[in-house]
Amino acid sequence: MKTGGRVGGSINLDFKSCAIFKDKFTKVRGEILEQSVAIIAELDHFFNTLNVQASASQPGEDFMDKWTLFRKTLHGLPEFKSSTKKLRRDVHKAIGKRNEYTHADLGFTNNQPEITYKKESKFVTAPIDDEILDRDLELFEKVKDDLRSLNISIQKHKK
């Protein structure tokens, strides 16, 4: 969104642009949460393919537990360990971003968009713009696609 000008390195939006940005934020947050569900499904498929016992996917389950089990399982597969190093980092990053977006509140200070979310035991406020939203959504789509590719590779390797 190229409305408004840059002030101090962040976007300065007019009232109408704030409403448009809020709509985009809401849409992207929904898409990120949907991608999170798809990522959990791919992780469950990964566990099922390898006959690894994982907890059933529940709406409020701890995504971090699945990532820990995913990481440990990959360490036991030397043929995939080195080729999945970036994927392991990306899954971990997606988990953090999911937690941010799940509990994020969008606000505007001097018409500059920012999100507030809880990180560990404190609240964090950070600027946000179109580029950040697009980049975060791309991360989730990439992680889902990479997990799907890994699952296909593992199935071929098992045959």
Model pLDDT for residues 102-145, shown as the tens digit of each residue: 889 999 988 889 999 988 889 999 999 999 999 999 999 999 99
| Rounded Cα gap, residues 149 and 21, in angstroms | 34
Edge to edge, the sheet with strand 122-127 lists 105-109, 112-119, 122-127
pLDDT value of residue 82: 76
Mean pLDDT of the chain: 83
pLDDT at 155 over 50: yes
- Name 124's Cβ contacts closer than 8 Å, sequence gap at least 6: 116, 117, 118
For the chain, domain boundaries: 12-158
Residue 133 burial class via C-beta count within 10 angstroms: exposed 0-12, middle 13-18, buried 19 and up? buried
| Rounded Cα gap, residues 109 and 121, in angstroms | 23
Lookup result for tokens 């999100």: 115
Task: Give the 3-state secondary structure of residue 34.
Answer: helix
Percent of the chain with pLDDT over 70: 86
Structure tokens at 46: 């990964």
- What are the backbone angles phi and psi of residue 105, rounded to the nearest 5°? -115, 130
pLDDT in tens, 7-27: 444 556 778 888 899 999 999
pLDDT value of residue 126: 93
The predicted model scores a pTM of 0.81
